[in-house]
Structure 1
Amino acid sequence: MGIEWLKPGVFFGSILFALIGVLVFWISFLVVDKLTPYDLWGEIVKKQNMALAIVVGAMCIAIGMIVAAAIHG
């Protein structure tokens, strides 16, 4: 691999793709949050719903894998 990743075009391209990935992940999470019939954050944090936290965590991992695969090609 060498020192190629230190070139400005490669470095800033990586930063750009990372920001796009985070943005797509956040938007998709908000869409899922709006599609559910209750407030995910309130259920997980205030009511300590561990089962829902596990499901949301698995969903976040899945969305992250999809975004990473889409960016990687």
Structure 2
Amino acid sequence: MMLTTDTFLATMLYAGLGIAIFIISFVLVDRLTPGELWREIIERQNNAVAILAGAVAIGISTIIAAAVHG
């Protein structure tokens, strides 16, 4: 299968759209959680919050990938 310009542009569009949705979703989750997520992770070295943030990121990514893939 040959990579055409249309296929490449569609791939870039879907990738950009997925990244944008991921960022918006993660910021929304950050705002909805009590406290300051990044302060807990960086300054206080809270591993539980870091694991939660990672799990949220993986979950959002999986949902976006499934939606984009079809």
* Equivalent-residue separation in structure 1 for 2:20 and 2:66 (angstroms): 15
Offset from partner CA, 1:21-43 (integer Å, 9 cap, x none): 00000000011011011111111
* Equivalent-residue separation in structure 1 for 2:10 and 2:43 (angstroms): 39
Q: CA RMSD in A?
A: 0.7
Aligned length: 70
| Larger RCO, structure (CA 8 Å, separation 6 or more) | 2
The normalised TM-score by structure 2 is 0.95
List gaps (5 residues or longer) in structure 1.
none
Write out the 4+ residue segments of structure 1 that deviate beyond 6 Å after TM superposition: none
* Percent of matched pairs sharing the same residue: 47
What secondary structure is seen at the aligned counterpart in 2 of 1:43?
Answer: helix
List gaps (5 residues or longer) in structure 2.
none
The normalised TM-score by structure 1 is 0.91
Match of 2:40 among 37, 40, 43: 43
